[in-house]
Structure 1
């Protein structure tokens, strides 16, 4: 994917975030490079997939 970004002034007065997952990114501003990676050191059969528990809100 190729795209062009034209940076202009940004002004953020207030941010309210309701929900955020444990594997997410919230970015305001510029980032030249964002690298994502994940690793598991346990066997797949020990992974428990069940109901998600929401993170506490301040």
Structure 2
């Protein structure tokens, strides 16, 4: 198999990303190294910082709820 690759310059004027999936990478041109980063849009008041794990009480099985 014979392959010829010609690298030329590339100019990006504007890049608009409308949505991001759970795992997304955007590569433009040659990439020598890739750095991983993550951003979360979770509201701060929905985070719980506590050593305790909230547990839901377990109902005992009876003939009424089986």
TM-score (norm 1): 0.41
Using CA pairs under 8 Å that are at least 6 residues apart, name the structure with larger relative contact order, 1 or 2. Answer: 1
TM-score (norm 2): 0.37
Over alpha carbons, which structure has the higher Rg?
2
